[in-house]
Amino acid sequence: MENLKNIAVLASGNGSNFQAIADAIKKGKLKAHLKLLISDNPQAYCIQRAATAKVKAFIVDRRDSINKKDFEEQIILKLKSEKIDLIVLAGFMRLLSGEFIRKYRGRILNMHPSLLPAFKGAHAIKDAFDYGAKVSGVTVHFVDEETDHGPIILQEPLEIKAGWGLKELEKNIHGLEHKIYPRAISLFLKGRLRLEGREVKILKP
């Protein structure tokens, strides 16, 4: 029997990237166990998506935690109990501490809706739109101690067409995310990503 790795997705909102990952696994495009969704938002729609996909959901409400350390320790205990190999951030709106990141260095991926290092932060799509950028895109990267900064795995550009409103840009950016994130996760699962300092080398199959 194939020895599949265990994935946990951390999300705070709609969970469309969670859905893209779940769909890729269901279609056989990703060979992994999607074992766990962790959310800090009890009202998040991603929790309903997890229920539909028959994936365990673990809710850690920051307001119920004594402090950030307590909040993260609850998450770490759950990751350990489920034997998680890879953590996938998908719209998780809490910054992880340096201690947490060091514990899982090289095993945390993040999707950012711009071509990093351009337009870092929580409002990247709107920032690119307001700036009048002609090209934006998406970036999958390893997470390090700095925000939207870790070694880049994959990037995909998107030409911003004349006449697009913010909603059209958001829709097209999210569509790119749903294609590129499963691809990057697959590279990790196949052992084809090698971290060399700040650079990621993609090994041939």
Which residues on adjacent β-strands are paired with residue 36?
8, 56
Tokens of residue 94, six digits? 């809490």
Q: What are phi and psi of 111, to 5 degrees?
A: -105, 130
Four-CA torsion 200, 116, 13, 168, nearest 10 degrees = -130
The DSSP output letter for 95 is: P
Residues 115, 78: contact at Cβ < 8 Å?
no
The confidence score (pLDDT) of residue 62 equals 82
Element (H, E) at 8: strand 5-11
pTM for the structure as a whole = 0.95
> Does the pLDDT at position 2 exceed 70?
no
What is the average pLDDT value for the chain, to the nearest integer? 96
Q: What percent of the chain has pLDDT over 70?
A: 99
- State pLDDT tens for residues 118-136: 999 999 999 999 999 999 9
Cα–Cα distance between 83 and 60 in angstroms, integer? 18
Judge whether residue 1 has pLDDT over 60: no
Query: Helix, strand, or coil here: 36?
Result: strand
pLDDT digits (tens, 9 = 90+) for 12-56: 999 999 999 999 999 999 999 999 999 999 999 999 999 999 999
Q: What is the per-residue pLDDT across 155-185, written as a single tens digit (0 to 9) for each?
A: 999 999 999 999 999 999 999 999 999 999 9
Q: Domains, the chain, ranges and CATH? A: 5-202 (3.40.50.170)
Judged against a pLDDT cut of 90, whether residue 64 lies above it is answered with no
Catalytic residue annotation: 112
Q: Which of the two residues, 106 and 64, has the higher pLDDT score?
A: 106
Distance of CA 166 to the CA centre of its chain: 22
